[in-house]
């Protein structure tokens, strides 16, 4: 079987590659990266994954390499994935996320791969946006009230999956994933930025002050290693055209997560709110209901949240200990 991961240099993409290589011997694994992509998440994959330099905004390159690979499964994870960047660079976010996906869909159509290729689309719980107290836990049927350009781009990806399935029969599996974290998470995301700052403070590389944003927001976190297992199962068991929440179905206040992380360190650390980290409109609560996905696939998360927090902090401690590029 030929499997293509877009966004293989990223957080979820590199963990998905690890999962596939560890569990399936009969898979030829391909990855789209960019020529200037960071390599820290994929160095260990060299020789095991065939990499192609493809910017997904470049329809010619997407077309050419999808034709060459003829993948049986595509995990479409490439995206501008950081919500605050979408306010600073809305056009770039919409272009990458929406047009990038259209380019992949069109390549599948043009090369007559619709019947042979299942494609998982990484949609997001951000699509739910403004959620009322009486709407949690959030089901797939909840209204979508996006609060960022990123959320709008993900709604477009999601609905393009629906529309291409209805119009052409493309086998798109739409996964609305709630927050996920773990080792290799980009340093700007909440748990990673907290862990990185704590690890720097522990090494006396930074004053004992941690900068934070909105600590009142609530999020539903799952370990990335459970999420990528879910993506694989989704492509085997879910219905093309359908949408599925993937979540832990538990929610945590960001302030409580910060307290848990601080309790893992011996340093006394002061917490300071950084206005730069506040958003024009933040999603206040994401608390998923993933019953539909669990009943369809039998998936459930296995890694406890406490373990994920410890692993992420230890990842940053090790990275700062061993790597000058932090
Ligand atoms: O930044 P790079 O060059 O390392 O590649 C990132 C890739 N990417 C692109 N690939 C091709 N053409 C583009 N124009 C392009 N823009 C970004 O997407 C990287 O490999 C990946 C994003 O990785 P992360 O930022 O670590 O996101 P994460 O958490 O792995 O998210 C995976 C998916 C995304 O669709 C999110 O929106 C969704 O899950 O939550
Ligand atoms: N990044 C960041 N940095 N967020 C902070 C901070 C901080 O210092 N302090 C508090 N927060 C709050 C944010 O305001 C937000 O409410 C929450 O922590 C989570 O922020 P992020 O980790 O940046 O993630 P996100 O929820 O905006 O988006 C992530 O999850 C989505 C799924 O719901 C990303 O992984 C998206 O790509 C993904 O689609």
pLDDT at 323: 74
Averaged pLDDT score across all residues of the chain: 97
Tell whether 205 and 165 lie within a shared domain: no
The answer to whether residue 325 scores a pLDDT higher than 70 is: no
pLDDT in tens, 137-159: 999 999 999 999 999 999 999 99
pLDDT in tens, 50-67: 999 999 999 999 999 999
Look at residue 294 and tell me if it is in a domain: no
Instruction: Decide whether any atom of ligand 1 lies within 6 Å of the 186 Cβ.
Output: yes
Tell whether 256 and 238 lie within a shared domain: no
Tell whether 107 and 92 lie within a shared domain: yes
Instruction: Kindly identify the ligand whose nearest atom is closest to the C-alpha of 227.
Output: 1
Q: Which atom of ligand 1 is nearest to the CA of 57?
A: 14
Q: How many CB atoms lie within 10 A of CB 313?
A: 23
CA of 276 to the centre of ligand 2 (A): 14
Mean pLDDT of 95-111: 98
CATH number for the domain harbouring residue 262: 3.90.25.10
pLDDT at 136: 98
Tell whether 171 and 195 lie within a shared domain: no
Look at residue 267 and tell me if it is in a domain: yes
Look at residue 174 and tell me if it is in a domain: yes
CA of 97 to the centre of ligand 2 (A): 18
Look at residue 309 and tell me if it is in a domain: yes
Mean pLDDT of 93-112: 98
- Domains contained in the chain, number: 2
Tell whether 231 and 215 lie within a shared domain: no
Specify the residue with its C-alpha closest to ligand 1, atom 37: 81
User: Which residue range is the domain that position 270 belongs to?
Assistant: 185-219+250-285+302-321
Mean pLDDT of 291-310: 98
Instruction: Decide whether any atom of ligand 1 lies within 6 Å of the 78 Cβ.
Output: yes
Instruction: Kindly identify the ligand whose nearest atom is closest to the C-alpha of 77.
Output: 1
Tell whether 136 and 93 lie within a shared domain: yes
Range in 36-40, 108-112, 124-128 with the lowest mean pLDDT? 36-40
pLDDT at 312: 98
Residue 29's φ and ψ, nearest 5 degrees, are: -105, 130
pLDDT in tens, 228-281: 999 999 999 999 999 999 999 999 999 999 999 999 999 999 999 999 999 999
Tell whether 207 and 150 lie within a shared domain: no
Instruction: Decide whether any atom of ligand 1 lies within 6 Å of the 177 Cβ.
Output: yes
Look at residue 290 and tell me if it is in a domain: no
Specify the residue with its C-alpha closest to ligand 2, atom 18: 190
Tell whether 61 and 136 lie within a shared domain: yes
The answer to whether residue 324 scores a pLDDT higher than 60 is: no
Look at residue 209 and tell me if it is in a domain: yes
**Which pairs count as long-range contacts for 270-277, CB under 8 Å and 24+ apart, including other chains?**
270/208, 270/209, 270/210, 271/209, 271/210, 271/212, 272/209, 272/210, 272/211, 272/212, 273/211, 273/212, 273/213, 273/215, 274/211, 274/212, 274/213, 277/211, 277/212, 277/213, 277/214
pLDDT at 326: 60
CATH number for the domain harbouring residue 63: 3.40.50.720
Tell whether 62 and 206 lie within a shared domain: no
CA of 77 to the centre of ligand 1 (A): 6
Q: Which atom of ligand 1 is nearest to the CA of 55?
A: 12
The answer to whether residue 26 scores a pLDDT higher than 70 is: yes
Look at residue 145 and tell me if it is in a domain: yes
Instruction: Decide whether any atom of ligand 1 lies within 6 Å of the 191 Cβ.
Output: no
Mean pLDDT of 31-39: 94
Q: Which atom of ligand 1 is nearest to the CA of 76?
A: 35
Instruction: Decide whether any atom of ligand 1 lies within 6 Å of the 38 Cβ.
Output: yes
Tell whether 80 and 136 lie within a shared domain: yes
Instruction: Decide whether any atom of ligand 1 lies within 6 Å of the 40 Cβ.
Output: no
């Amino acid at each position: 079987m030929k499997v293509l991961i877009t966004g293989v240099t990223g957080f979820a993409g590199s963990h998905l590659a690890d999962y596939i290589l560890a569990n399936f011997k009969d898979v030829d694994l391909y990855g789209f990266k960019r020529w200037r992509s960071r390599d820290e998440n994929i160095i260990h994959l060299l020789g095991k994954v065939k990499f192609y330099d493809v910017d997904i905004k470049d329809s010619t390159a997407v077309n050419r390499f999808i034709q060459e690979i003829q993948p049986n499964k595509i995990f479409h994870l490439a995206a501008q994935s950081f919500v605050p960047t979408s306010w600073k660079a809305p056009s770039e976010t919409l272009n990458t996320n929406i047009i990038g996906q259209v380019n992949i869909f069109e390549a599948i159509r043009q090369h007559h791969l619709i019947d042979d290729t299942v494609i998982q689309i990484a949609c997001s719980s951000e699509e739910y946006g403004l959620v009322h107290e009486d709407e949690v836990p959030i089901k797939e049927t909840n209204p979508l009230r996006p609060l960022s350009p990123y959320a709008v781009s993900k709604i477009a990806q999601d609905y393009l999956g629906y529309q291409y399935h209805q119009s052409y029969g493309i086998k798109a599996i739409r996964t609305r994933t709630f927050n996920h974290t773990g080792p290799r998470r980009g340093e700007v995301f909440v748990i990673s930025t907290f862990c990185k700052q704590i690890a720097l403070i522990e090494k006396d590389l930074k004053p004992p002050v941690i900068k934070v944003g909105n600590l009142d927001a609530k999020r539903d976190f799952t370990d990335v290693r459970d999420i990528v297992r879910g993506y694989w199962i989704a492509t085997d068991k879910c219905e093309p055209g359908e949408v599925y929440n993937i979540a832990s179905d538990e929610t945590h206040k960001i302030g409580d997560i910060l307290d848990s992380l601080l309790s893992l360190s011996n340093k006394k650390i002061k917490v300071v709110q950084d206005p730069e980290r506040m958003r024009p409109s933040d999603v206040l609560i994401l608390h998923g209901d993933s019953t539909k996905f669990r009943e369809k696939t039998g998936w459930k998360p296995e890694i406890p949240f406490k373990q994920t927090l410890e692993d992420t902090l230890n990842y940053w401690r090790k990275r700062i200990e061993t790597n000058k590029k932090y």
